[in-house]
Amino acid sequence: MSEDHETKFTLGRETPTLSMTRILHAPRQLVFETLTEPAHLTLWWGSFQDAPLDNCEVDLRLGGAWRFVEKLPDGSSLASGGTYEEIVPPSRIVQTLKFDTDPWKGRTARITFELEDLGDRTKLTIITQFATFSDRDGMDVEGARKTGEFAFGRLSRLLSRLQAG
């Protein structure tokens, strides 16, 4: 598999972070739109292969709120939300994250989306900064890796469809 179709995962040593990076075959503006528009988010965001967003609310402005609810294969739901702290179209988004359902209920993190312009491609890096190493290390890292692969794969397919018209 070529490097630009792989998702690179990194656990921070000095800070409690988990980073995911992937090269996407689409211009940065289009990638930014798929990260911020509910009509696009519902087509690729999700923790599992077949766990679509049941609810997707985005108020894309500083201090604006977002909320996602995923319908899981077992019929349960996974809810999370937060607020936007920084929006620099089309290169950067920083938002808080708070889980509303167990086992992560009440835990918080900060997510930074960095989009690097590579011409007809975009390097997308998603950095999740957890409150503590315990929070980060308490999560299922292999599960997060699978989630990232599923989501990036769906995002890549969506970007191809959008560019094909």
Percent of all residues in the chain with a pLDDT value above 90, rounded to a whole number: 65
Better-predicted residue by pLDDT, 48 or 76: 76
**pLDDT tens figures, 32-62:** 999 999 999 999 998 766 666 889 999 999 9
Better-predicted residue by pLDDT, 76 or 86: 86
**Six token digits for residue 4:** 């630009």
**pLDDT tens figures, 132-159:** 998 888 777 777 888 888 889 999 999 9
DSSP state of 163: H
Residue 65, domain CATH: 3.30.530.20
Q: What is the mean pLDDT of residues 96-114?
A: 86
Q: Are 31 and 24 in contact (CB under 8 A)?
A: yes
The total number of structural domains in the chain stands at 1
Range of the domain at 66: 3-164
End-to-end CA distance of the chain: 26
Q: Are 7 and 152 in contact (CB under 8 A)?
A: yes
Better-predicted residue by pLDDT, 56 or 74: 56
Instruction: Place 129 in a pLDDT band, splitting at 50, 70 and 90.
Output: very high
Nearest to 111 by CA among 137, 140, 81: 81
Q: What is the mean pLDDT of residues 76-101?
A: 93
Burial 106-121 (b: 16+ CB within 10 A, else e): ebebbbbbbbeeeeeb
DSSP state of 103: T
Better-predicted residue by pLDDT, 36 or 74: 36
Read off the pTM. 0.91
Instruction: Note the pLDDT of residue 41.
Output: 95
Instruction: Note the pLDDT of residue 4.
Output: 58
Q: What is the mean pLDDT of residues 23-29?
A: 98
Instruction: Note the pLDDT of residue 49.
Output: 65
Instruction: Note the pLDDT of residue 51.
Output: 67
**Six token digits for residue 30:** 């289009």
